[in-house]
Structure 1
Amino acid sequence: MTFVADPLTARSNADISQADRSRVFHSWSAQGALAPMPIVSGSGSVVWDAEGNEYLDFSSQLVNVNIGHQHPKVVAAIREQAELLTTVAPAHANATRARAAEMICELAPEGFEKVFFTNGGADANENAIRMARLVTGRDKVISRYRSYHGNTGAAIVATGDWRRIPNEYARGHVHVFGPYLYRSEFWATTEEEECARALHHLERVIQAEGASTIAAILLETVPGTAGIMTPPKGYLAGVREICDRYGIVMILDEVMAGFGRTGEWFAFHAHDVTPDLITFAKGVNSGYVPVGGVIISDAIAHHFDDTVFPGGLTYSGHPLAAASIVAALGAMREEGIVDNAKRIGAEVIGPRLAELAERHEIVGEVRGSGVFWAIELVSDRETRTPVTPATMGAIKAALLSRGLLPFIADNRIHVVPPCVVTEAEARRGLEVIDAVLAEVGAGEAAPSLN
């Protein structure tokens, strides 16, 4: 596909950016200095701005365009559903919604037969928390400091990062540190130590808070925005054991990590664990239409057979969203898209990032799987001091100038292209990152003392 300007919106990048900035209130931003980058079209792993400049999308927008931009089967399914029925109240039965739920449950472990649809990941987590509280009769929810669960009442307070602090209006939330060996909170020197000590810390917090007050433990299977920290072997299984010991509901947030991102349909498939509730959004339909949901274990679902579930959303299981799910999951299966993500991660991204870590002093650590990787940048490998925001700004500008659209978070470059990325595209993007690290990193990183 080549760039084609939309005649209805054909303007310069500057005109579109100014029009957007003058009327649109942007999230997580001071509004005055914004200069949003226009994107007007895309195909697969590539997007174009209003003037036809091409960018290889190594951000997948917000790490959600797993099936790539403008997949023809998904676009066609949305169009066909719009011609049949554009909307329906959630109280009615709808065949497209039922098929979407069926296809999602087919990917979940045995014993998950129902889906509660939401409008996105935040309200998926909200409703999972609600279910856990109602089923257990308890109030508190434990989540991690290094986490992001969404920007609604309970979800933002479950979040651990800075965005929680000005939004702490919900009750009953407790935070713990999870495993992160590179910046261990537990003085660990091996993954085994980090895992054991993180689990001990979690259990002690449960005991100190009062186990009989804890409704749920809510974890991103692989923390995404917080740093793409794949849990060490045994950690999630250990959390499962703790939940079983104290009668706590285990919720795994697969909003960012699910549907191919880690090279698995669900990230927890690689960790020999089954949660009680699974939240999802983003990757299930690559964000073509807003949607999310909770995949509910049978035990929890049946709790509400004779008890009213006090929750609902006008757009729950919206038919356009449901149609996009059916088409996206079907195409992902038929085209081997999850397998492609796994192969690209194992054969291209992982080995190439390991090479960059060897050659560039600015690289402190690389980690990830599938098409879900982080490059952590430091000014000193010995002290592991993060590079400055100014350095990250320079890196972002340099990547964009070379035609790579990056995902930058704190002192990290997240390497998160669509699951459909080709080997040639992955290598091209990594070459750009290599060149930028050589250019910008030369003036930032101190020589290693090792």
Structure 2
Amino acid sequence: MRVIVIGGGLAGSEAALQIAERGIEVILYEMRPIRLTEAHRTGNFAELVCSNSLGSVELTDARGLLKEEGLRLGSILLQVALKNKVPAGKALAVDRVKFSEEITNIILSHPKIHVERAEITKIDFDNDIVVIATGPLTSDALLSELQKLFGENLFFYDAVSPVVTKESLDLSKMFFGGRYDQSPDYLNIPLNYDDYERFYKELIEAKTHTPHDFDRIFFESCLPIEEIARRGFDALRFGPLTPKGFGKAFFAVVQLRREDTDGNLFELVGFQTSLTYQEQKRVFGLLPGLENAEFVRYGSIHKNAYFRANRILNKTLQTKKFPNVFLAGQITGSEGYSEAILTGLVSGINVARLYRGEKPIEIPDETMIGSLIRFLVENDLEDPQPMRANFGLIPKKYFEIPKNKRKEKFIEDSIKSIELVRGMI
């Protein structure tokens, strides 16, 4: 019986490494670079296509707790992320090039992983143990095959933020600092009322790329900046351009986050967009300091597919129809880098257990990853939206605890539960 992982993104890379580290031969299929997706640029494994931030590292933040759980369970990708981090305040952001290159080198040099650069359009559901981790940019041919087995998929539009070079910026109009402290991790553009009004008016009227089947289906946590702006004049000031944390000196603040360890590139935080390239250069160039900005990557929009996990998955991430087939990553309806890594980790652990004749495990609900998986597979929604880790997903019993003690208790239980799982694997 062969063990196969399809997809070399975050989930697939983590799953393949978890399986291989347990001494099991695994074939990892990745169609890139033979065939690229709408968003990928390289053939590297674990390429980050949107932001370079994996979110908070604080335990009191759901995604921070998720990372802690993943590290305690031996996540290889999270360990590599920490090695390649760039300053980002309380968030874990990485040099995306160095991060994906290191993961690629680890995979290509692993004696138990055999890489096949090919597009998979058919799956042997009878004779192989398979992890489907093709992500939201699953090829049309494979998506059509999966629809026959799991029903029609859902989709939403996602967008990417632009990246500019530091040397092209007018730093005299900006300042380094954090939103609530003086740490020099972010580059900030302060806006007065006139700056903001001019930018806002041009932004909502700018030309956008319009996909042929575009019907304004977006993931709420990753809305294009122009879509946020269309909700009202102050919408951006309560979102990515909030001046909160800087006192009352500014009407709005644009933040740029370091993209690489050398600090030569910066990403416009929260500026994911579907504007045409020409319009991005024109409209974003209205912001003080960006007048002559050199864009090394423009923002873009792409369509993300996922399935109704509540119809097809068990809490072990095995499909109900085929116990030897697992799903991991954003194709399950989870959303976010850390979430993809953790679902890849869980699927990899369980594939290894199934291969050895052991019973796959369900991660306890008293953990953040367990709570997320439980929501994905047990919600009763007809068309569930992509879900990130959050404290609203934790078991009902915790809501009987006073709010000021609830997180503390759940975090305590999470660490204990993850340690028990670690002892099992």
What TM-score range do you get, normalising by the shorter chain?
Answer: under 0.3
- Alignment TM-score, normalising by the size of structure 2: 0.26
- Alignment TM-score, normalising by the size of structure 1: 0.25
Q: Which has the higher helix share?
A: 1
